[in-house]
């Protein structure tokens, strides 16, 4: 499969269609899965990273939390477990992810920040072919462990004013891996490095050894495929939340977001709101608002308090994804006061979701 896709919505439905039509059933590590081998995907607009497909039940709050956790070079479950409760199932010690991407990217061998090395290679020679991040570690990843990195190698290539990203993956679960987190996190990293080198964001290409759907997700994949050809929120004029920060300001702003999250998790809502004002980058500031809203939701605060936090967000893809998730969880499509552009897309989205639910019943 090599047809270019516009964004993550198009790419996921193409992936699942390819697996459904051409996949072979295999059992690996005791789990049945349907897979295609040596898959090649291309996404032309990777900044259109927010997934909105009925039946996928996406959690954008978890995607944001894990992405920030990776960018900061963290591997602790104390933070991540709040957003991915199942994360502990993939931990050897119950406290960390041994093969977490963050430390390998930000402090390989406890000394090399690969993001800065890539930025420096591209600055020194914009057409270099050596701007790569390595994730798989042969010194540790052949051992007996629950946690071996699936994404192994990232290459950044500048051509004609655009920074392209090639991702090489040994094995990708289409539901929890590719669409659940990997595309989102790497597209954010892609945009940050484009900012750092002064280039436009180019295409994102995915090379996968085995691209698969586990048996537990067969029904989910079929439900998602009912949306093939569906318009994404971006085709309704909803903008992607832009990222302006580069590497030089990233770590300080990430720490500000984690301060917001710490206050929000502890129920210090006023302090969380005040700390949000200190976050400089618009994407990271929106992420801080999103984490406040999600922690308020988890704490079962009144609906009006949660919606008031979401209303701090400007109209854009993150706000739409927050509204979709919370409305679905509350089973209430009238919980939010929708703005004009939002109403058009969500009316379309909910009509499709209800039609699919009726068919399933």
d(CA 109, CA 113): 9
In contact, 309 and 299? CB cutoff 8 Å: no
- Coil, strand, or helix at residue 64? helix
Could you tell me how many helices (H) and strands (E) the chain has, helices first?
13, 7
Helix axes 60-71, 282-298, angle to 10 degrees: 120
**Residue 150 annotated as catalytic:** yes
Cα of 280 vs its chain's centroid, Å: 21
Q: Name the burial class of residue 137, with classes exposed (0-12), middle (13-18) and buried (19+) by CB atoms within 10 angstroms of its CB.
A: middle
DSSP state of 215: G
Question: Which of 92, 39, 352, 4 is CA-nearest to residue 209?
Answer: 39
Angle of helix 8-22 relative to helix 218-225, nearest 10 degrees, comes to 120
> Active-site residue among 39, 60, 105, 150?
150
Helical pair 183-197 and 247-265, crossing angle rounded to 10 deg: 140
Q: Measured between alpha carbons, how far is 166 from 238 in angstroms, rounded to an integer? A: 27
Residues recognised as catalytic = 150
């Amino acid at each position: 499969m090599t047809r270019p896709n516009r964004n993550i919505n198009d790419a996921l439905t193409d992936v699942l269609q390819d697996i459904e039509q051409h996949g072979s059933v295999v059992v690996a590590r005791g789990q049945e899965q349907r897979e295609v081998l040596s898959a090649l995907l291309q996404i032309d607009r990777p900044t259109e990273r927010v997934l909105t497909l009925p039946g996928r039940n996406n959690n954008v709050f978890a995607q944001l939390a894990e992405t920030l956790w990776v960018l900061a070079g963290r591997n602790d479950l104390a933070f991540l477990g709040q957003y991915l409760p199942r994360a502990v199932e993939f931990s050897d010690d119950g406290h960390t992810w041994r093969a977490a991407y963050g430390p390998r990217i930000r402090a390989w061998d406890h000394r090399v920040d690969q993001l800065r090395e890539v930025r420096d290679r591209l600055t020194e020679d914009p057409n270099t072919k050596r701007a790569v991040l390595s994730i798989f570690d042969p010194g540790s990843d052949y051992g007996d462990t629950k946690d071996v990195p699936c994404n192994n190698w990232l290459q950044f290539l500048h051509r004609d004013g655009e920074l392209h990203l090639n991702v090489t993956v040994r094995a990708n679960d289409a539901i929890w891996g590719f669409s659940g987190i990997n595309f989102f996190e790497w597209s954010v990293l892609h945009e940050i490095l484009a900012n750092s080198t002064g280039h436009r964001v180019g295409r994102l290409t995915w090379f996968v050894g085995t691209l698969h759907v586990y048996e537990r997700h067969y029904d989910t994949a079929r439900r998602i495929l009912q949306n093939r050809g569906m318009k994404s929120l971006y085709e309704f004029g909803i903008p992607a939340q832009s990222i302006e920060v580069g590497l030089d300001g990233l770590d300080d702003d990430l720490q500000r977001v984690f301060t917001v999250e710490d206050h929000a998790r502890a129920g210090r809502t006023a302090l969380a709101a005040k700390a949000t004002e200190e976050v400089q980058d618009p994407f990271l500031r929106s992420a801080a608002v999103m984490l406040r809203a999600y922690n308020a939701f988890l704490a079962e605060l009144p609906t009006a308090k949660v919606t008031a936090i979401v209303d701090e967000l400007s109209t854009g893809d993150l706000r739409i994804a927050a509204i979709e998730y919370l409305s679905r969880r509350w089973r209430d499509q009238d919980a939010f006061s929708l703005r004009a552009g939002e109403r058009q897309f969500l009316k379309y989205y909910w009509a499709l979701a209800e039609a699919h639910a009726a068919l399933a019943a």
